[in-house]
């Protein structure tokens, strides 16, 4: 790891000191046998001196850190120094409690002495760890924060000292005379050693970056404190006791150096450097001011300086001569007025005050404001101000700046703003725009009147004027006129003619003498590179023209030329539009040109006649108003917008709209919309043409309806309206494809009606057809949305069902169909009984294509007929047997539960160390016959499907509690374990039911154990934990059954309030032959031990199994080695034998 450069130099000498301190114990050990050294280590005044010196250093650390505090220091300093107040106080209490010094504190007892010393050490190392973890940010802005910190340290110190003084018997720390430390004191010492090492590591890691406090000293203090605390654990040797005290003093010296370096030495070094920089800067500033004032005197801009009084007022120091030239005031006149500030325009005083406040906040600023000159003229000033900060005074003491006269620029900006305003306010009328431009030119140039004259057809026509005299002629011959000369001149520059009475124009242009004109200013106006006319400005006195004035006149003349071009372009567009209108009016279909904003700009005569709203000659409105009479766009559910479709696709589109025309008739319109692009490639609009296709659509729809009807007849049975064989085969094929993709099954049912042929032959086809319709309705009712029903021909029907996972639901559906068709059919007051035989096949087990499945289902159907009709058969005998068995269990289980045919057996749980039976597990059994028991693995899933698992589990729990209470009353105190299913565990009232059963049976909760499986916690683990805690509070034990066979979650296992883990039989069965099972069993045992759980092993059947669990100190074992599950009477005999 690379250290910061400055830390590399410091860490070298610190490393030497630490190496020396590590060597010292070795040197001390070699001379410890010398007589004088032995006396020295037993000499009490040395210890007292070191302790006093240590207390003084701790108090110095607090005093220096506390009294040199400021908000810029890192918070680590104030935290460390305040904590060491507590260290010093604990050290002082330690000294006072020394035997023989102050027996009134701890008379005859050395315990408090050690306790206070340990508190001081622990407080010190915690303070070091705290500042190692915290960043070096300043403490909080509030000045009360450090007092809160101080109060906390004092309260903690007083509280701990009070406990020791007055309630020392509650302290675990004690010291027995002439004996070593007790274990708890050694542990605390090692804790301080570990915390010190962590602090040292953190300090060392921080040396990669520069910090605002002395990291090296803090690192050294941590290392030395670790050595001191370590030696303190070896106080049975007097040498290490002495070194522990000496090293603690050295550590405190390092800490004092860190505090002194950060709080005193470093800030004073920075202050000294800042003072030197300030003196140097002030000298440079004086030289800079002299140069600045000299330069300012020689320029048109002016400079200034103000002193800032303590109250914030500005006192003028100096201002350059340029200021007097700008304002016209002499220095004495300004002084009499009260200074430069008095010349600021009244409306700009708030702005000037804001400018001043920004400068006083030590921020440079630029602002604009107005000054009132001596002659009353308004002068615009751009002011640049820069403050001068005095770090000793902690405020701005001077403001120096420069100002520029920007009056000319401001006037130019005002003229350009008016010009821009004029341009943006143009309207569609040519004459108004020209007059506005001429008026603007005359106003901005200060002319007495202005005229724009156009040379047209041998006459000068006045096309725009401003403030012309009342008798001014708007048209006249060009001969001898000044403006005609400007138009005919080959140059494009501004023409300025002064002293007009002394020029030849006084004789040729009657206006010179008529209006006493003195000055003429003219600028040619061009349109499409042709000299079209001239802008003329007339004055009654001589004027001077600047370059910006000439530029302004040129801009206005150019704008007039642009307006002339626009006028010509508008006229050309009108002519082209008129021509185009004549062309499209001859087209028989409606045509419209629509802009991108949906406004219609052009349409033909046919389109106008179809308008849904009145239209004017100049404006057609929007397309949706015109064609639909709508107030908003037509892009709704039943009308797609042609504009939006073109915008989306970028090409010609054809769409259809349906609407009612103005006469109320329903119309279908085919609209073709072609895009119009602008020069930049953006959509400018569309050309929309329409065609009435109402009749064509009517014919097309009729043809489609006919075709749809024919398709329906081709795929459906005309009698029952069910899918026919063709459609059924298509759908079944698709179902097989879907099942193959989703890894599911498809069930196919083939039905043949029993006794239908006899009814049909006897009563006729009319009755037979009616019967088939009713059968189709009953089949659809029986199957519902679960499958597809079809009539394949005659009295045969087929059904397929997708997404099949088990045969049981299919058997249910088959039973429902048979029952539904067994009901009588009433036709013409006759009652008929028919039935059906059903054959069932499955994809993919019985076939992978339609034909194979149908063939196998047909075979199964014939098998059903062979079994006496009115039943169903699966294609394979095994599936058929399983389905029948399942249905049998379904029928018998509910009856068995109601008639209490089930029994509870008990299997003992044995202590493997002595063979004693300490408990038993209650197991439900179903004696189906005197010689046959149905396995729980077979009937428990059926109970879960039927919803019987909850009452079954409640019956088992009640029965087991009753029997256990009977055994307890007989003197056999055993705990019974009862399994809880996941459905039972999720009951809302489970806790109440358990409490009720315990109350009714009188069994104590201590003798009941509930076994849960991992599947119980797959959903709602948090709720499960909460319920388990409530059960635990009753005193009931909890076990996790078959651990490791489900979805084991160790993250939840550690939170479950369990008592036991049960190793599943599958891990026990092959223990003697399978090393993997050995490893799993050992891992489960080790995990349970670390979690504080007991282990119960199931399936122990051999002596080798028992030996394994005895070797691994398993708590309980259970299996056939001891006993199979027994009924209550036999289990009672087993208990009697075991107890004897």
Q: Find the mean pLDDT for residues 485-510.
A: 83
* Per-chain mean pLDDT for the chain: 81
**What separation in angstroms does the CA of 610 have from each of 152, 591, 642, 818, 1115?**
91, 11, 18, 67, 98
pLDDT in tens, 160-187: 777 766 666 555 444 444 444 555 667 7
pLDDT in tens, 637-660: 467 888 888 888 889 888 888 877
* Residue 885 or 613, more confident: 885
* Residue 1121 or 229, more confident: 1121
Q: What is the pTM of this model?
A: 0.35
**What separation in angstroms does the CA of 704 have from each of 638, 698, 717, 930?**
20, 10, 21, 73
pLDDT in tens, 80-94: 777 888 787 877 777
Q: Find the mean pLDDT for residues 971-980.
A: 92
Q: How far apart are CA 84 and CA 89, in angstroms?
A: 8
Phi, then psi, of 622 in degrees rounded to 5: -90, 160
Q: What angle do CA 704, 706, 712 make, to 5 degrees?
A: 100
* Residue 399 or 1047, more confident: 399
Domains in the chain, CATH or no CATH each: 5-271 (1.20.1070), 299-405 (3.30.450.20), 411-571 (3.30.450.40), 585-699 (3.30.450.20), 720-875 (3.30.70.270), 892-1139 (3.20.20.450)
Q: What per-residue confidence (pLDDT) applies to 165?
A: 65
Q: What per-residue confidence (pLDDT) applies to 318?
A: 79
Q: What per-residue confidence (pLDDT) applies to 102?
A: 47
Q: Are 1117 and 914 spatial neighbours (Cβ–Cβ below 8 Å)?
A: no
Reported as a pLDDT band with limits 50, 70 and 90, residue 1034 is very high
Q: What per-residue confidence (pLDDT) applies to 5?
A: 55
Q: Dihedral sign for Cα 943, 949, 953, 954, please.
A: negative
DSSP 428-474: S-HHHHHHHHHHHHHHHHT-SEEEEEEEETTEEEEEEEES--TT--S
For residue 863, pLDDT over 60 is answered with yes
Q: How far apart are CA 1069 and CA 1104, in angstroms?
A: 11
Phi, then psi, of 901 in degrees rounded to 5: -80, -20
Q: Name the β-bridge partners of 831.
A: 826
Q: Find the mean pLDDT for residues 268-291.
A: 67
For residue 33, pLDDT over 70 is answered with no
**Low-confidence winner among 300-304, 598-602, 920-924, 1131-1135 (lowest mean pLDDT):** 300-304
pLDDT in tens, 1060-1117: 999 988 888 888 888 888 899 999 999 989 989 999 999 999 999 999 999 999 999 9
Q: What per-residue confidence (pLDDT) applies to 70?
A: 65
**Low-confidence winner among 135-149, 752-766, 865-879 (lowest mean pLDDT):** 135-149
In 3D space, the residue among 24, 15, 22, 17 whose CA is nearest the CA of residue 227 turns out to be 22
pLDDT in tens, 504-552: 888 888 888 888 888 989 888 888 778 888 888 999 999 888 888 888 8
Q: Find the mean pLDDT for residues 805-812.
A: 87
Phi, then psi, of 720 in degrees rounded to 5: -100, -10
Reported as a pLDDT band with limits 50, 70 and 90, residue 237 is low
pLDDT in tens, 598-631: 888 888 888 777 766 666 655 677 777 777 667 6
Q: Name the β-bridge partners of 753.
A: 836
Phi, then psi, of 59 in degrees rounded to 5: -70, -35
Q: By three-state DSSP, how is residue 680 classified?
A: coil
Q: Find the mean pLDDT for residues 277-289.
A: 66
Q: What per-residue confidence (pLDDT) applies to 1002?
A: 94
pLDDT in tens, 49-100: 777 888 888 788 777 777 776 666 677 777 877 788 878 787 777 777 765 5
For residue 957, pLDDT over 80 is answered with yes
The contacts of residue 1082 (CB under 8 Å, 6+ apart) are 1112
For residue 141, pLDDT over 50 is answered with no
**Low-confidence winner among 241-250, 305-314, 837-846, 1104-1113 (lowest mean pLDDT):** 241-250
Q: Are 1010 and 978 spatial neighbours (Cβ–Cβ below 8 Å)?
A: yes
Tokens of 897: 């539960």
Q: Find the mean pLDDT for residues 229-238.
A: 68
Tokens of 99: 């035997």
């Amino acid at each position: 790891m690379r250290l910061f450069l400055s830390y590399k130099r410091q860490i070298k000498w610190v490393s030497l000191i630490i190496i020396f301190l590590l060597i010292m114990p070795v040197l001390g050990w070699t001379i410890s046998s010398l007589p004088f050294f032995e006396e020295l280590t037993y000499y009490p005044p040395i210890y007292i001196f070191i302790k006093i010196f240590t207390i003084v250093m701790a108090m110095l650390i607090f005093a220096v850190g506390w009294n040199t505090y400021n908000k810029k220091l890192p918070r680590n300093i104030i935290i460390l120094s305040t904590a060491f107040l507590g260290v010093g106080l604990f050290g002082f209490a330690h000294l006072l409690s020394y035997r023989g010094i102050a027996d009134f504190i701890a008379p005859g007892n050395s315990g408090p002495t050690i306790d206070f010393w340990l508190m001081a050490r622990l407080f010190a190392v915690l303070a070091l760890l705290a500042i190692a973890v915290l960043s070096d940010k300043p403490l909080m802005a509030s000045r009360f924060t450090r007092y809160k910190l101080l109060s906390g340290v004092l309260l903690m110190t007083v509280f701990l000292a009070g406990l020791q003084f007055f309630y020392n018997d509650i302290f675990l720390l004690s010291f027995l005379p002439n004996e070593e430390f007790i274990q708890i004191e050694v542990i605390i010492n090692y804790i301080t050693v570990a915390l010190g090492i962590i602090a040292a590591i953190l300090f060392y890691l921080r040396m990669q970056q520069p910090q605002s406090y002395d990291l090296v000293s803090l690192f050294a203090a941590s290392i030395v404190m670790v050595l001191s605390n370590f030696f303190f654990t070896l106080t049975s040797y007097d040498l290490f006791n002495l070194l522990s005290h000496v090293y603690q003093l050295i550590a405190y010296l390092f800490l004092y150096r860190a505090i002194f370096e950060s709080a005193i030495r470093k800030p004073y070094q920075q202050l000294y450097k800042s003072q030197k920089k300030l003196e140097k800067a002030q000298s440079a500033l004086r030289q800079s001011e002299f140069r600045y004032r000299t330069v300012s005197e020689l320029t048109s801009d002016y400079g200034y300086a103000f002193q800032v009084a303590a109250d914030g007022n500005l006192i003028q120091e100096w201002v350059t001569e340029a200021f007097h030239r700008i304002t016209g005031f002499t220095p004495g006149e300004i002084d009499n007025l009260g200074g430069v500030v008095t010349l600021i325009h009244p409306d700009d005083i708030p702005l000037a005050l804001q400018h001043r406040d920004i400068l006083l906040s030590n921020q440079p600023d630029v602002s604009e404001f107005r000054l009132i000159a001596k002659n009353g003229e308004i002068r615009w000033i751009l002011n640049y101000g820069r403050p001068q900060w005095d770090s000793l005074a902690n405020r701005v003491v001077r403001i120096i700046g420069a100002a520029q006269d920007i009056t000319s620029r401001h006037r130019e900006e005002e003229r350009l703003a008016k010009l821009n305003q004029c341009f943006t306010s143009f309207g569609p009328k040519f004459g108004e725009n020209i007059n506005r431009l001429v008026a603007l030119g005359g106003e901005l140039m200060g002319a007495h009147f202005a005229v724009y004259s156009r040379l047209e057809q041998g006459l000068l026509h006045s096309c725009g004027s401003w403030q012309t005299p009342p008798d001014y002629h708007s048209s006249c011959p060009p001969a001898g006129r000044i403006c005609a000369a400007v138009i005919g001149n080959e140059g494009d520059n501004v023409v300025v003619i002064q002293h007009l009475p002394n020029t030849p124009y006084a004789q040729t242009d009657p206006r010179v003498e008529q209006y006493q004109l003195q000055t003429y200013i003219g600028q040619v106006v061009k349109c499409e590179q042709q000299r079209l006319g001239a802008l003329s400005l007339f004055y009654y006195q001589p004027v001077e023209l600047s370059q910006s004035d000439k530029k302004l006149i040129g801009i206005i003349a150019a704008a007039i030329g642009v307006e002339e071009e626009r006028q010509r372009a508008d006229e050309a567009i009108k002519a082209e539009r008129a021509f185009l209108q004549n062309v499209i009016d001859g087209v028989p279909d409606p045509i419209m040109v629509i802009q991108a904003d949906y406004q219609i700009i052009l349409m033909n005569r046919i389109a106008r006649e179809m308008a849904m709203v009145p239209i004017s000659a100049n404006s057609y409105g929007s397309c949706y108003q015109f064609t639909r009479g709508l107030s908003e766009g037509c892009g709704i559910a039943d009308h797609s917008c042609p504009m939006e479709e073109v915008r989306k696709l970028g090409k010609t589109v054809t769409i259809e709209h349906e609407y009612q025309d103005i006469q109320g008739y329903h119309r279908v319109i085919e609209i073709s919309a072609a895009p119009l692009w602008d020069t930049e490639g953006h959509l400018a609009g569309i050309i929309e043409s329409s065609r009435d296709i109402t009749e064509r659509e009517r014919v097309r729809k009729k043809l489609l309806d006919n075709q749809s009807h024919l398709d329906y007849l081709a795929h459906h049975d005309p009698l029952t309206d069910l899918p026919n064989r063709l459609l059924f085969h298509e759908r079944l094929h698709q179902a097989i494809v879907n099942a193959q993709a989703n890894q599911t099954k498809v069930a196919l049912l083939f039905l043949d009606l029993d006794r239908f042929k006899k009814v049909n032959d006897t009563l006729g086809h009319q009755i037979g057809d009616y019967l088939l319709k009713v059968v189709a309705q009953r089949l659809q009712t029986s199957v519902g949305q679960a499958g597809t029903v079809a009539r394949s021909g005659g009295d045969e029907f087929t059904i397929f069902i997708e997404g099949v996972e088990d045969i049981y639901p299919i058997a249910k559906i088959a039973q429902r169909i048979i029952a539904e068709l067994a009901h009588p059919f009433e036709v013409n007051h006759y009652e008929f009984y028919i039935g059906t035989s059903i054959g069932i096949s499955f994809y993919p087990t019985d076939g992978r294509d339609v034909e194979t499945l149908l063939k196998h289902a047909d075979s199964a159907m014939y098998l059903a007929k062979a079994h006496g009709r009115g039943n169903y058969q699966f294609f394979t005998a095994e599936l058929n047997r399983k389905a029948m068995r399942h249905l049998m269990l379904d029928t018998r289980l509910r009856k068995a539960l109601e008639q209490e045919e089930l029994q509870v057996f008990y299997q003992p749980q044995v202590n493997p160390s002595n063979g004693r039976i300490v408990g038993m597990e209650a197991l439900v059994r179903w004696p189906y016959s005197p010689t046959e028991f149905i396995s729980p693995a077979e009937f428990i899933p059926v109970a879960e499907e039927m919803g019987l698992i909850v009452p079954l589990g409640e019956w088992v729990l009640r029965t087991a509690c009753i029997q256990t209470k009977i055994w307890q009353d007989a003197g056999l105190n055993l705990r019974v374990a009862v399994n809880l299913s996941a459905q039972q565990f999720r009951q809302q009232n489970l806790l109440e039911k358990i409490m009720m059963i315990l109350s009714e049976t009188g069994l104590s909760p201590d003798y009941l154990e509930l076994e849960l499986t991992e599947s119980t916690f797959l959903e709602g683990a948090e709720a499960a934990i909460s319920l388990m805690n409530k059960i635990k509070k009753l005193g009931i034990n909890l076990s996790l059954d078959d651990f490791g066979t489900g979805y084991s979650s160790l993250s939840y296992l550690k939170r479950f309030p369990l008592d036991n883990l049960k190793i599943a039989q599958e891990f026990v069965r092959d223990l003697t032959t399978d090393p993997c099972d050995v490893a799993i069993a050992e891992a489960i045992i080790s995990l349970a031990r670390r979690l504080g759980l007991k282990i119960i092993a199931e399936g122990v059947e051999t002596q080798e199994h028992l030996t394994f669990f005895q070797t691994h100190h398993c708590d309980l074992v259970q299996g056939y080695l001891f006993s199979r599950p027994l009924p209550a009477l036999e289990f009672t005999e087993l208990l009697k034998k075991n107890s004897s």
